[in-house]
Structure 1
């Protein structure tokens, strides 16, 4: 499979995933391309079983060079992929048994309002607070990213703030309303979560959205930011 064919194949699969309301697409050597729909894995048996060259070429067709270097050096990497400005995906490429696998998660274009998520009304009071540290935690696939996006967008539509997000990768894209929203992607806009977070102290922020806290240094810096009113 050459690079052009691989790119077209990926686009076709992702278009179909969006049309079928699949939450995920999996590309794994020895398996048909597979969707997750309503929690169930559904193999696309009309597509051929993927060979090592297939997954490698499809990954190469969409990954940027700097992310490819991370994949080769660390064995896995996260990035985002925008399909013709119609659908956006969070992507994780990783090695398994020496072969490349790729997992895609569909990110909805529209950010849902808090009331659409049936979340407690107390969250409306939370986003009005001027300082503090608020953690959103839970199992994979249970709506953490969706909840956080709704909270950010509630602030965006109701307050005049400067919001800085630090993510790996950027997931939801916000349409700025009353807020200035600067979205920074780790490894693209900054070398690490910690480096991006430290620079926030000089960027006149009101709200920091930190996608992950992966190490003690980042946690310490986040606590310092909260304690000093950021």
Structure 2
């Protein structure tokens, strides 16, 4: 792994460097500029708060092509009945706060540090990060957030306080933006997202799609 220089915003080229189990660098900082540069190059931070910052670009990469979204009959009924009200970019701070604090099965604590959370909030204020809110009876019961890098949406974290909330929000988002995004980056495998059609692709294929559709590069 490569140790990053805090005074220089750069990373090893993930297309040329495999790293260790998907970790291509460590160290550096969580400044808005570095985090944004990382995502533009297919790299994301993931580490335990208090530990060294780790930067990842796994191979293979877990992604969803919008036209391959799978919606079960039961979920379609929930969406059609409008069990939830779904909005975008209405309460980013509460969404990311819930993602940080929600209890997750088999997981102690959170990977989302206060410093990283503040960086994502800044990215939201710059129009680079987005949130989806899922409401029921005027209460925030689910949602997720991520970064838009050109025509690729890099999903970060989601939460649900009631059954099917985050799934409904995700389906609504993908269907609403199926012409806006070429790819949804899910980063690492989850059964939840696999059931919705996400699949593994080679890292080099992911990077090619990212770079071809990154309008900000």
> Could you state the TM-score of these two structures normalised by the residue count of structure 1?
0.29
Structure number, greater radius of gyration: 1
